[in-house]
Amino acid sequence: MSYSVAKLAPELIVPSEATPTGNLPLSFMDRLPTMRFMVESIHVYSHGEEPAELIRGALSKALVPYFPMAGRFAMSGGELEVACTGEGIWFVEATADFSLEDVNNLQLPLAVPKEDILPYFPPEDIKDVIMLIQVTQFKCGGFVVGIRSDHAMGGGAGFGAFMQTVAYMARGRAAPSVMPAWGRAAIPNPAKPILMGGPPPVFTPMDLQKLAVDIPLDHINQLQSEYAKETGERCSTFDVVIAKVWQCRAQAIGLHPDADVRVAFAASTVHLLKDVLPEGFYGNCGYPLTVSAPSGKLMNASLVEVVGMIREAKNSLGTVFSKWMAGDPEADPFRAPPDYGLLAVSDWSKVGFHELDYGWGEPIHVAPIVDDSPFMATCFFLKPPAPEQGVRLLTSCVVREHFGVFHEMMTKLE
């Protein structure tokens, strides 16, 4: 069966009122080269009446307090900044000639090209746009909000806060629950410049296979109880689930026992800067923590030991972040290029996307849309589709020859 999506002419959604102009500086975290990429996601809803019209108006209102989002990236003195031009967010309205049920509610892997439900850059006369949104209505009455946003403006929590404001405005509120604050200058620059000089690293492409797994709450509770029984301490859902995934992956890929296997995840440092950051800050403020162990040790470790490794790394955040700020090269989280031994985890479960309600209820599911990136093994930590409870994992982390074993191990966790 062939499916068709018709897109109307794209437009720019500008703030509904006059907003400040001028350039705003980004923090060094925003300006890191690793932040200059577009994050893509879909937010699927079971029903809604003329959602594009409602969201269009709510965006225009939300861009008043979040006026930098309507600007453009610009270079000043060799540094990336945001020019508050008020030019707007790129917006596309679309209709589909099929129902959500026809495409499995847009569960991954997608049954339609991602280009059909995500907005893409307009002609060359529009450059350095910060955010693009497409609202697509389906024949069944459901709709999907497709978002592309530049990570240099903020992380998941920052864009989640902005979209929460859009949802508030769509439901009739006049102002955000917390007013946004720029505050980028409050983040201290490292004592020594963070340089990423020299020739660009050479990455080896890998034939990484995709897998989606739902871990039920009962299983998570069982693993947490096991940890608590042996240690007398509590651990988070993230700790125990990522520990299992990291270990399963190590057993599946079977590297040499002495080879390092690593798991990396972004840890928020907002609490470490709470004395300087204003309430409502929505910029990047994280440190990529990496946990490393010899392959043989990880494969043969108990759950308690692996969770302990994760928790030890999290407990070290204040120390390693301070060292990074002091210019210690050993604390540079980007010093080692990714290889097959690294698993990069991104936690989307608490950034607010799953709670976005424009007036017809929360989404039935939210998912990142990740291009085939054969250079880094990844795992996304999400909420499962309602009404299920637990964790949904979207992984692209093992090559074809290791997929069967990894799939079998992960299925045992379901």
CA atoms within 13 A on the CB side of 400: 3
- Active-site pick, 260, 339, 357, 407: 357
Residue 270 has pLDDT above 90, yes or no: yes
SS3 at position 324: helix
Per-residue pLDDT at 196: 46
Q: Which of 151, 219, 365, 402 is catalytic?
A: 151
Question: Is the per-residue pLDDT at 411 higher than 90?
Answer: no
CA distances from 344 to 28, 125, 167, 242, 395 (A): 22, 35, 30, 10, 10
140 burial (CB, 10 Å; 0-12 / 13-18 / 19+) is middle
Of the candidates 290, 301, 299, the one whose C-alpha atom is nearest the C-alpha of residue 262 is: 290
Domain ranges of the chain: 5-180, 208-349+371-411
The rounded mean pLDDT for the chain is 92
Q: Please tell me the least confidently modeled range out of 171-180, 293-302, 328-337.
A: 328-337
Long-range contacts of 407-412 (CB under 8 A, 24+ apart): 407/211, 409/248, 409/251, 409/252, 410/211, 410/213, 410/245, 410/248, 411/213
CA dist 189 and 35 (Å) reads 16
For residue 390, the cross-strand partners are 216
Q: What CATH superfamily is the domain 5-180? A: Chloramphenicol acetyltransferase-like domain (3.30.559.10)
Task: Assign a CATH topology to domain 208-349+371-411.
Answer: Chloramphenicol Acetyltransferase (3.30.559)
Please tell me the least confidently modeled range out of 130-144, 154-168, 198-212, 358-372.
Answer: 198-212
Span 240-264, pLDDT tens digits: 999 999 999 999 999 999 999 999 9
The whole-number pLDDT of residue 193 equals 57
Looking at residue 82, what is its pLDDT? 97
d(CA 184, CA 188): 9
Confidence band, pLDDT 50/70/90 cuts, at residue 372: low
- What pLDDT, on the 0 to 100 scale, is given for residue 49? 96
pLDDT tens digits along 112-123: 999 999 998 776
pLDDT value of residue 204: 72
Active site residue 357: yes
What percent of the chain clears pLDDT 70, i.e. is strictly above it?
94
User: Do 208-349+371-411 and 5-180 fall under one CATH topology?
Assistant: yes
Tokens of 118: 């995500």
Residue by residue, DSSP assigns 295-310 as HHHHHH--HHHHHHHH
